[in-house]
Amino acid sequence: MTGDAALRAHPPEVSAARAQRFGTWLYAEHELRAMRSYLSVIVAYSIGHPLLYLVAMGIGLASLVDANGGGDFGGVDYLVFIVPALLASGAFLAASGEFAWPVMDGFKWHRLYYGPLVTPLQPWQIAAGHTLAVSIRLLSQSLVYYLIVAAFGAVPSGFGILSVLTATLAGLALGTPLMAYAATIKEEKAQFVMIQRFLVMPLMLFSGTFFPLTNLPLFLQWVGWLSPLWHATEIGRVASYGYAEPLWLSFVHVLYLVALAAGGLALSFRTYRRRLVT
């Protein structure tokens, strides 16, 4: 069209067919490319943040706890006990940001979603593509973090690598329902900050992260049972150091996380479509 006869786009039918098949990945590609421009921030945040916890809690506090026989951690050091929880909470925290502000950016601030909306992509593929891109980010940061703590000798079992997956799942179990909600917000009036302060932070504190959930009085333990972070942490502990729990309970943890993530995603498909197609 603008010169060069050799340069030809494929026909629209091919565009539509490829978008139908690979649309989710095509959208994720865009986000991953954009993430490269703030890669240093992602690295600093995703690795620096839990590392800080690792040093402060896992090493500093651990020496105090272990020296004073501070608690029953299933026969392992406090550091070993806390690592799967820190791994999961790193992904959990990152997801609480990635499924909030970028969604607002897509619909409102920079209206980024309205670009792909007028291409062969469909609204559900935008939601799925965002989820895929963030999943890749969560997986990568969890893997790097895992390799660091493994180098510290804080993961006795080789199955500990599975905690990278469960940590990512924890992020998605919080993230996709958050994304479904974020897609309905017309004006951001500190809703996300409220969610961080009054949902994410309390869940971090009461999900058996820094001490076993059973240390809490029974009337507070339900917070952990509902929290995706607790479920992910528990399986992470099973994988990392053979924390003893019945097999059926591990299945329940995984099912709970998958159900939240899948339910949130299905809901997002609806809220994205409702917002984008008038």
Partner 1 sequence: MLQNTPGSEPGPSLPTARGARPTVIRARGLTKRYGDFTAVDGISFEVPAGESFGLLGPNGAGKSTTMRMIGGVSQRTSGELEIMGLDPEAQGPLVRAHLGVVPQQDNLDEELRVRDNLIVYGRYFGLDRRYLRAKADQLLDFAQLTDKANARVDDLSGGMKRRLTIARSLINEPQMLLLDEPTTGLDPQARHVLWDRLFRLKEQGVTLILTTHYMDEAEQLCDRLIVVDHGRIMAEGSPAELIRRYSTREVLEVRFGTDRNAAVVPQLAGIGERHEVLPDRILVYAHDGEAALEAIVGRGLHPLTSLVRRSSLEDVFLNLTGRSLVE
152 φ, ψ (degrees, to nearest 5): -75, -5
**Residue from 110, 194, 222, 274 that binds partner 1 (CB under 8 A)?**
110
> Using CA atoms, how far apart are residues 251 and 155, in angstroms rounded to an integer?
22
> Using CA atoms, how far apart are residues 27 and 89, in angstroms rounded to an integer?
27
Q: Return the ∠ at Cα 123 (arms to 46 and 256), rounded to 5°.
A: 55
**Residue from 61, 74, 97, 120 that binds partner 1 (CB under 8 A)?**
120
Task: For residue 108, give the H/E element and its range.
Answer: none
Question: Total residues at the site for partner 1 (CB under 8 A)?
Answer: 43
Is residue 68 a contact point for partner 1 (CB under 8 A)?
A: no
Residues 15-54 as x/- pattern, contact with partner 1 by CB under 8 A: xxxxxx-xx--xx-xx--xx--xx----------------
> Using CA atoms, how far apart are residues 185 and 191, in angstroms rounded to an integer?
9
> Using CA atoms, how far apart are residues 217 and 6, in angstroms rounded to an integer?
73
Binders in 141-160 for partner 1, by CB under 8 A: none
**Residue from 39, 67, 118, 218 that binds partner 1 (CB under 8 A)?**
118
> For residues 123 and 264, which CB has a smaller minimum distance to partner 1 in the complex?
123
> For residues 111 and 197, which CB has a smaller minimum distance to partner 1 in the complex?
111
**Residue from 41, 100, 114, 217 that binds partner 1 (CB under 8 A)?**
114
Minimum Å gap between C-beta 271 and partner 1 is 16
CB < 8 Å & 24+ apart, contacts of 19-24: 19/119, 19/120, 19/121, 19/122, 19/125, 20/120, 23/120, 23/121, 23/122, 23/125, 23/128, 23/129, 24/125, 24/128, 24/129, 24/132
**Residue from 5, 67, 190, 277 that binds partner 1 (CB under 8 A)?**
277
What residue ranges bind partner 1 (CB under 8 A)?
Answer: 1-4, 7-10, 12-20, 22-23, 26-27, 29-30, 33-34, 37-38, 110-122, 276-278
